[in-house]
């Protein structure tokens, strides 16, 4: 059973997450030769103040 964990900045719509889940599931089925029912996708919404890249918070001014 593939489990795909997706961390995103908060603010994506349900429709965007649904479309992404459908696309990722289809690719997992094609690539891993599994059933769609065996693919789980978990979304984690993250605040920009809780995500840092290169030592800088995403919420910091650019």
C-alpha–C-alpha distance, residues 7 and 43, integer Å: 6
pLDDT for the residue 1 = 87
Q: Containing domain of residue 42, as a range?
A: 3-49
Q: How far are the Cα atoms of 52, 55, 58, 61 from residue 41, in angstroms, in the given order?
A: 23, 28, 24, 32
pLDDT for the residue 13 = 98
Q: Tell me, yes or no, if 61 is annotated catalytic.
A: no
> Catalytic: which of 2, 6, 8, 20?
2
Residue 36 belongs to a domain: yes
CATH code, domain with 24: 3.30.429.10
Query: Could you read off the pLDDT tens digit of each residue along the chain, which spans 62 residues?
Result: 899 999 999 999 999 999 999 999 999 999 999 999 999 999 999 999 999 999 999 999 98
pTM for this prediction? 0.88
Residue 31 belongs to a domain: yes
Looking at the 3D structure of the chain, how many domains does it have? Answer: 1
C-alpha–C-alpha distance, residues 44 and 61, integer Å: 23
Residue 44 belongs to a domain: yes
Residue 62 belongs to a domain: no
């Amino acid at each position: 059973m593939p489990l795909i964990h997706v961390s995103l900045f908060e603010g994506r719509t349900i429709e965007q997450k649904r479309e992404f889940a459908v696309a990722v599931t289809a690719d997992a089925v094609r690539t891993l030769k599994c059933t769609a029912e065996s693919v789980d996708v978990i979304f984690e919404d993250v605040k920009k103040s809780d995500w840092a890249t290169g030592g800088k918070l995403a919420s910091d001014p650019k």
